[in-house]
Chain A
Amino acid sequence: MTPQRSTRHTTPLSRLTSHLALPLLPLPLTTARVLTAGGAALTLLSTFLAWTWTTAFPGNLTVTGYPGGLQVLTLTGAALTLALLLATTGLPGLRRLNPSRRHTATVHLAAGTFATTWYTLGAIAIRLGGLVNLEPGGYVAGAASLVALVGALALPADRTGPPLPPRPLPAWAEILLIAAVFGLALSVLTYGIGTAYGELFTGFLLLTGFTTAALFATGLGSRFTALAHRHRRVTLTAALVAAVLFPLTQDTDEYTLIIVNILIFSTVALGLNVVVGLAGLLDLGYVAFLGVGAYTAALVSGTTASTLHVHFPFWAAVLTGAAVSLAFGVVIGAPTLRLRGDYLAIVTLGFGEIFRIAVGNLNGESGPSLTNGPNGIPNIPDLVLFGYDFGTPHSLAGLTLTPFANYYLLMLLFTVLVILVFSRAGNSRIGRAWVAIREDETAATAMGINGFRLKLVAFALGATLAGLAGTVQAHVSYTVVPEQYVFAGPVPPNSAFLLAAVILGGMGTITGPLLGAALLYLIPAKLQFLQDYQLLAFGVALILLMRFRPEGIIPSRRQQLEFHESEAGADAGTGTGTTTGRGPGPDGIRLTKAEA
């Protein structure tokens, strides 16, 4: 076994770790395997022991014989590590778990288990004040997960055999597989949202992060992507069904409210992705357009606090909100988009602040009476659509739809609409022109593209989509206040977080901003202790991301293509005989200017 990686990693997520060449530790193969397997098994067993003596640490880790709280995460991680190690060594039943036949995935999982376990032990020590609060079980878990990690890092990089080709499945089995994966994803998400305390959520994030990386390292990730691509319709339906079913899996409104807000945040992020991801325009005041939509909807909602005493039906309110947002978009965009460079960023940043401050001043004292100033517009009534009151629970076939579930479903409709707009606009003559402008505006205009007009279309479309989302947001939050629409603040959505969601998730993709928004909403919501350091932590995280994964969690199709191509190029070798780089003509006829 040569201690070198023979070929490049190819899956996007494993690129994060591709800096480290396996094995990091020089140990014989058998020793490495035994250490990993033994460590993982012992870690698994240790979760049945007590890790601490008091129930003061949440999740009750004091019971022997029954894992609880964070122990369950360690248990899951250890079990997966063990399964994957056995799969990679070629255990017949499990082999299919790791078709790439590389140890990388095992390393990811061992690292994930180690991180989760040590995080738990650290959290216990910090919360209860010292390592004395650990029971022997905790020490066993810590030592065992370390041993497993050491063993895993000593595993060789080579494949243990040729990669397994995908086993052909009948179509119905493939569809069933897609459904199962979505079911699994839904339950993982529900678990994450339902985590009752910050420590459990952090542990959950750690383990899911590493497991996802491992999943892609095994090759199962890209296989599923290919499968989902083949059955596009089925996949979309499954995603939609999973999304619709979500509120039905909840018996309280607490998490449904979280998910509605996530949905609003993601939808707005996706709207921003048209502007930033496709057309490459840096909009730093995007949240103002959400505010315009929300304020418009609030003003025409019929609330007593509104200075306009009108009550539009919802569809009319939506159209008004979108139209007003569109108008603002055109007014802001028309003068600035003619200029190149950073002017747009400056102007939108200013617009975002001006909107917030102006809305705070339109209270009848510092300005005309319109928005009720800093107090905002409260008591926005619940929506009633076709006699269906969104504010009361409804019973549907034995299942209860809570008020927030109603709004969730409505918002889902808007999300689907925005997804549709994004994908259809992006994949058309207009969308290609946007990307061309983003890539090279001079070349784009030389290809006949009217740069100004197309940028204005993108900007206005983005504003409209945000306005649409705003109309729903006004009803979900019952109140609109200027402070909801800041540039940067602890509560998403704000302009900085929106931009971060797009960049973190992956520019120009659909799933990227959705995932990015979910993460950026959940992390501050779950980790209250971060409150004061949130923006700092956030900045550090973004810098790290830009350093290690500039394309975001989910790379766009174009960037994925790049991975595949570099692989294909390496295999095929060069030899086209083309010269790269400019130089004088090789045949020596090229003439140069005489010395003056």
Chain B
Amino acid sequence: MTTTTTAAPVLTATGVTMRFGGLTAVHAVDLTVHEGQIVGLIGPNGAGKTTFFNCLTGLYVPTEGTVTYRDRVLPAKPHLVTQAGIARTFQNIRLFANMTVLENVLVGRHTRTKEGLFSALLRGPAFRRAERASEDRAMELLSFTGLTAKRDHLARNLPYGEQRKLEIARALASEPGLLLLDEPTAGMNPQETRATEELVTAIRDRGTAVLVIEHDMRFIFNLCDHVAVLVQGEKLVEGTPETVQRDERVVAAYLGTPFEGAPGREEIAEVEAAEAHAAEETDR
């Protein structure tokens, strides 16, 4: 787990601010993701992480600030952002529910194919070739995410964990240089979370940088080269997982500062012992 500071930046966000009326959901956030990195974005609920993602991908037009992808300033149009090379998943899964698994991934290929209406109507050899190539590529991604057997199922009939995987496969189909994942393990059991960790590592190894929002701290610390903490719309701390983990401000932001007369160490130990005892009782 090395921080590749020498690598070129893939994404540079400078001074991104998003206001909704009087509410400043994101305030002057700078963030850089380098080639080959997995960067974590953490913060309490409502900190503005998803809003920040929406600003990066053009779903929201940021009130201030710019987003640069590989030296190109991105316009605030989602389809142009994807075209440029940033793909994303959503916090609350947004698959094309009534399309099959394969079709979902094929839609992801949209920016990397060109066939228009007329070539579809005429069905020339070039069209067939492109269609077959797209399908091959999609099948390869399905096997990468372990969904080959489900290719003809409707997306909405997949179990939850597989829906998350399919969303990742669909995003990867646009051959992104940077993948944004919004809570990829939310609602998963431990095995699935481990599998997702492996998947994310494999994605990085294929040459796609990853920026991931996650509440599962084990996931973040196992995986990330770099972590940024967002609290109430502002970037509080940034650095290696170890520095972030040790930072008192982060702990405070999550748990709140201890108030006067907070339970001391001994009391906590006492309570824990009592709980352990109670657990034994119920086991019997």
Do the beta carbons of A446 and B110 come within 8 Å of each other? no
Q: Does B269 contact A (CB under 8 A)?
A: no
Task: List the 5 shortest-distance A-B pairs measured between CB atoms, nearest first.
Answer: A594-B256, A593-B44, A448-B111, A428-B120, A448-B82
Do the beta carbons of A429 and B88 come within 8 Å of each other? no
- Min CB distance B269 to A, Å, is 19
Do the beta carbons of A594 and B44 come within 8 Å of each other? yes
Interface residues of B (CB under 8 A from A): 44-47, 57, 59, 78-79, 82-83, 87-88, 90, 92, 94-100, 103, 106-111, 113, 115-117, 120-121, 123, 127, 131, 134, 152-154, 157, 159-162, 170-171, 174, 185-193, 215-218, 252-256
Complex CA gap A580/B134 in Å reads: 31
Q: Does A37 contact B (CB under 8 A)?
A: no
Do the beta carbons of A445 and B120 come within 8 Å of each other? no
Question: Please, what's the 1-or-0 string for A441-466, where 1 marks a CB less than 8 Å from any CB in chain B?
Answer: 01111111111000001000100000
A565 and B154 in contact (CB under 8 A), knowing A447-B82, A461-B117, A578-B162?
A: yes
Set B59, B79, B192: member contacting A450, Cβ < 8 A: B79
Do the beta carbons of A593 and B45 come within 8 Å of each other? yes
On chain B, the residues within 8 Å of A19 by CB distance are none
On chain B, the residues within 8 Å of A450 by CB distance are 79
On chain B, the residues within 8 Å of A424 by CB distance are 120-121, 123
Do the beta carbons of A448 and B83 come within 8 Å of each other? yes
On chain B, the residues within 8 Å of A578 by CB distance are 159-162, 188-189, 192
Complex CA gap A582/B253 in Å reads: 23
A-B contact count (CB 8 A): 175
Q: With CB as the reference atom, state the residue of chain A lying closest to B153.
A: A565
Complex CA gap A549/B247 in Å reads: 59
Set A461, A574, A590: member contacting B215, Cβ < 8 A: A590
Q: Does A569 contact B (CB under 8 A)?
A: yes
Set B78, B103, B160: member contacting A580, Cβ < 8 A: B160
Q: Does A232 contact B (CB under 8 A)?
A: no
- Min CB distance B115 to A, Å, is 5
Within A521-579, the residues touching B (CB, 8 Å) are: 558-559, 561-562, 565-566, 569, 574, 576-579
Do the beta carbons of A593 and B46 come within 8 Å of each other? yes
Do the beta carbons of B121 and A421 come within 8 Å of each other? yes
Q: Does A425 contact B (CB under 8 A)?
A: yes
On chain B, the residues within 8 Å of A428 by CB distance are 115, 120, 127, 131
Do the beta carbons of A436 and B107 come within 8 Å of each other? yes
Q: Can you list 10 A-B pairs, Cβ within 8 angstroms, ordered by A? A: A429-B109, A435-B98, A446-B90, A447-B170, A448-B82, A449-B79, A449-B107, A578-B192, A585-B215, A594-B253
On chain B, the residues within 8 Å of A451 by CB distance are 79
Q: Does A165 contact B (CB under 8 A)?
A: no
Do the beta carbons of B117 and A430 come within 8 Å of each other? yes
- Min CB distance B255 to A, Å, is 5
- Min CB distance B63 to A, Å, is 20
Within A4-45, the residues touching B (CB, 8 Å) are: none
Complex CA gap A435/B117 in Å reads: 14
- Min CB distance B100 to A, Å, is 7
Interface residues of A (CB under 8 A from B): 420-421, 424-425, 427-433, 435-436, 439-440, 442-451, 457, 461, 558-559, 561-562, 565-566, 569, 574, 576-583, 585-587, 589-595
A589 and B218 in contact (CB under 8 A), knowing A446-B88, A582-B187?
A: yes
Do the beta carbons of A429 and B113 come within 8 Å of each other? yes
- Min CB distance B92 to A, Å, is 8
Complex CA gap A561/B100 in Å reads: 9
Do the beta carbons of A591 and B110 come within 8 Å of each other? no
- Min CB distance A464 to B, Å, is 11
Residue of A425, A450, A581 with most partner-chain B CB within 10 A: A450
Q: With CB as the reference atom, state the residue of chain B lying closest to A591.
A: B254
Do the beta carbons of A586 and B159 come within 8 Å of each other? no
Complex CA gap A580/B93 in Å reads: 12
Q: With CB as the reference atom, state the residue of chain B lying closest to A596.
A: B256
Complex CA gap A577/B127 in Å reads: 41
Complex CA gap A420/B254 in Å reads: 59
Q: A585-B216, A594-B44 are in contact. List 10 more A-B contacts (CB 8 A).
A: A439-B97, A442-B94, A443-B95, A446-B94, A447-B108, A577-B191, A579-B188, A580-B159, A589-B217, A589-B218
A565 and B107 in contact (CB under 8 A), knowing A446-B88, A593-B254?
A: no
Residue of B59, B117, B134, B160 with most partner-chain A CB within 10 A: B117
Complex CA gap A425/B120 in Å reads: 6
Q: With CB as the reference atom, state the residue of chain A lying closest to B42.
A: A591
Complex CA gap A587/B59 in Å reads: 33
Do the beta carbons of A443 and B96 come within 8 Å of each other? yes
Do the beta carbons of A430 and B217 come within 8 Å of each other? no
- Min CB distance B69 to A, Å, is 14
Do the beta carbons of A562 and B110 come within 8 Å of each other? no
On chain A, the residues within 8 Å of B92 by CB distance are 582
On chain B, the residues within 8 Å of A429 by CB distance are 106, 109-110, 113, 115, 120, 131, 134
- Min CB distance B64 to A, Å, is 23
Q: With CB as the reference atom, state the residue of chain B lying closest to A451.
A: B79
On chain A, the residues within 8 Å of B87 by CB distance are 446-447
On chain A, the residues within 8 Å of B46 by CB distance are 593
On chain B, the residues within 8 Å of A447 by CB distance are 82, 87, 107-108, 110-111, 170-171, 174
Q: With CB as the reference atom, state the residue of chain A lying closest to B89.
A: A446
Do the beta carbons of A595 and B256 come within 8 Å of each other? yes
- Min CB distance B124 to A, Å, is 12
Do the beta carbons of B59 and A442 come within 8 Å of each other? yes
- Min CB distance B184 to A, Å, is 12
Q: With CB as the reference atom, state the residue of chain B lying closest to A595.
A: B256
Do the beta carbons of B45 and A435 come within 8 Å of each other? no
- Min CB distance B44 to A, Å, is 3
Complex CA gap A577/B190 in Å reads: 11
Do the beta carbons of A446 and B152 come within 8 Å of each other? no
Q: With CB as the reference atom, state the residue of chain B lying closest to A580.
A: B160
Complex CA gap A364/B170 in Å reads: 58
Complex CA gap A425/B159 in Å reads: 31
Do the beta carbons of B254 and A587 come within 8 Å of each other? no
A589 and B256 in contact (CB under 8 A), knowing A432-B107, A442-B59, A443-B96?
A: no
Q: With CB as the reference atom, state the residue of chain B lying closest to A460.
A: B117
Do the beta carbons of B96 and A435 come within 8 Å of each other? yes
- Min CB distance A441 to B, Å, is 10
Complex CA gap A558/B218 in Å reads: 39
Complex CA gap A340/B217 in Å reads: 38
A448 and B100 in contact (CB under 8 A), knowing A561-B154, A580-B159?
A: no
On chain B, the residues within 8 Å of A448 by CB distance are 78-79, 82-83, 108, 110-111, 174
Do the beta carbons of B59 and A432 come within 8 Å of each other? no
On chain A, the residues within 8 Å of B100 by CB distance are 558, 561
Set A430, A431, A594: member contacting B254, Cβ < 8 A: A594
Set B57, B78, B189, B253: member contacting A586, Cβ < 8 A: B189
A582 and B116 in contact (CB under 8 A), knowing A436-B107, A446-B59, A449-B110?
A: no
- Min CB distance A462 to B, Å, is 12
Q: With CB as the reference atom, state the residue of chain A lying closest to B117.
A: A430
Q: With CB as the reference atom, state the residue of chain A lying closest to B112.
A: A448
Residue of A431, A446, A569, A594 with most partner-chain B CB within 10 A: A446
